């Protein structure tokens, strides 16, 4: 059977009966007769060449094929409900949020931001990471609802996008507590000749850090350059070197006392932006999340040092 031969009206009726498990109740809900509903489901079964229900007393029970067709129908009509809800400015059924983030962004920051959604049974998340330009192309084509980045997007009338500032946090010098506990270093003045791991050249703060070292005529011994913040976290934890990174990346290690903050540079901050298309249809849960972003993205501060209220870590 070809797709154009599939009667989606019949499939919709099957979906309602499968959900309710009762032909009479489904007929009442659909404002049709029980015999008409039964006939349309039989036509669907004939087209598919498989039985979808078997009778057990007064109950209709899905066959193995029926369960498979129901799973696909849930996706088809669930997405239809979601589409209508989004177009009408409200949520209906499960809301799918498709979010991209640049590969250099802290996974801890993202988890702190998304944590309220993890316990929401009405939300299904799709998270992907990649180069900013690739994500922006997918956003412009409505394949993503939001892109998280650590830099704003330049204005371009050919591709109108909106960069919403979520907050910022200082970049810190982090070291193993067993060696650096209780010590403080000036950044960058005291870094000459010290083993250090840095964000890779693509990271938004790397050029700033290099410029500071050049101005201070300081040359640290760069042992690693890492784009991925999750990998930089592991290197900071296991190498014994100093590392330059946002504290949120190593929030758990700071809290446990495995790592400590050795210094900070007031000139270095990582900024966070939510990039959206300006005329996208409103997604209520996403709007609420972005409104609360500065508070939600706070790392749990136990063991990571004090922070001012509302300040990102």
Residue-wise pLDDT for 93-139, tens only, equals 567 788 999 988 888 888 888 888 888 877 888 899 999 999 998 88
Encoded tokens for 267:
């000139």
Q: Which residue has the tokens 């929401």?
A: 120
Strand partners, 100: 128, 147
Could you please report the per-residue DSSP string of 198-252?
Answer: EE-TTSTTHHHHHHHHHHHT---EEEEEES-HHHHHHHHHHS-SEEEEEGGGGHH
Percent of the chain surpassing pLDDT 90: 33
User: How far is residue 163's CA from residue 152's CA, in Å, rounded to a whole number?
Assistant: 6
Strands (E), 28-136: 53-56, 59-62, 95-102, 123-130
Task: Determine the Cα–Cα distance for residues 141 and 132; give it in Å rounded to an integer.
Answer: 14
> Model confidence at 89, in pLDDT bands (50, 70, 90)?
low
Cα–Cα distance for residue pair 18/69, rounded to 1 Å:
10
Residue 283 has pLDDT above 60, yes or no: yes
Mean pLDDT over the full length of the chain:
83
Furthest-apart CA pair in the chain: how many Å? 87
- CA 222 to each of CA 177, 225, 242: distance values in angstroms, whole numbers, following the listed order: 20, 7, 10
Which residues on neighbouring strands pair with residue 58, listed in sequence order? none
* Total residues belonging to the chain: 313
Global pTM reads 0.63
- Name residues whose C-beta falls within 8 Å of residue 237's C-beta, 6 or more positions apart in sequence: 250, 253, 258, 259
The whole-number pLDDT of residue 282 equals 66
CA distances from 4 to 1, 16, 297 (A): 8, 21, 47
Give mean pLDDT, residues 3-13.
80
Strand partners, 13: none
Per-residue pLDDT band at 221 (split at 50, 70, 90): very high
Position 302 confidence tier, pLDDT thresholds 50, 70, 90? very low
Res. 307: pLDDT tops 70: no
Over residues 147-174, the pLDDT tens digits come to 999 889 887 788 888 899 988 888 999 9
User: Pick from 39, 36, 35, 17: which is nearest to 26 by CA?
Assistant: 17
pLDDT band at 266 (very low <50, low <70, confident <90, very high): confident
Q: Cis link prior to 184 (omega < 30° from 0)?
A: no
């Amino acid at each position: 059977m070809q797709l154009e031969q599939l009667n989606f009206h019949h499939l919709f009726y099957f979906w309602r009966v499968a959900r309710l498990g009762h032909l009479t109740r489904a007929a009442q809900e659909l404002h049709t007769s029980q015999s008409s509903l039964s006939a349309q489901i039989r036509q669907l079964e004939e087209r598919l060449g498989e039985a979808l229900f078997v009778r057990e007393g007064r109950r209709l029970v899905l066959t193995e094929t029926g369960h498979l067709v129901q799973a696909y129908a849930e996706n088809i009509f669930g997405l239809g409900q979601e589409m209508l809800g989004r177009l009408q400015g409200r949520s209906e059924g499960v809301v799918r949020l498709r979010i991209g983030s640049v590969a250099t962004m802290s996974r801890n920051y993202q988890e702190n931001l998304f944590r309220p959604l993890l316990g929401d049974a009405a939300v299904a998340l799709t998270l992907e990471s990649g180069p900013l330009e690739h994500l922006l192309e997918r956003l412009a084509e409505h394949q993503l609802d939001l892109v998280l980045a650590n830099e704003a997007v330049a204005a371009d009338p050919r591709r109108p996008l909106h960069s919403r500032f979520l907050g910022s946090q200082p970049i810190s010098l982090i070291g193993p507590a067993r060696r650096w506990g209780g010590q403080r270093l000036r950044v960058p003045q005291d870094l000459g000749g010290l083993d250090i791991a840095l964000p890779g050249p693509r990271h938004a703060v790397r050029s700033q850090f290099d410029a500071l070292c050049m101005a201070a005529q300081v040359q640290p011994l760069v042992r690693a350059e890492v784009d991925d913040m999750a990998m930089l976290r592991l290197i900071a934890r296991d190498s014994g070197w100093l590392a330059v990174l946002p504290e949120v990346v190593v929030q758990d290690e700071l809290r446990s006392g495995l790592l400590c903050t050795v210094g900070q540079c007031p000139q270095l901050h990582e900024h966070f932006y939510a990039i959206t298309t300006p005329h996208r249809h409103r997604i209520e849960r996403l709007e609420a999340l972005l409104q609360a972003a500065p508070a939600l993205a706070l790392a749990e501060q136990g063991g990571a040092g004090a922070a001012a209220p509302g300040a990102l870590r």
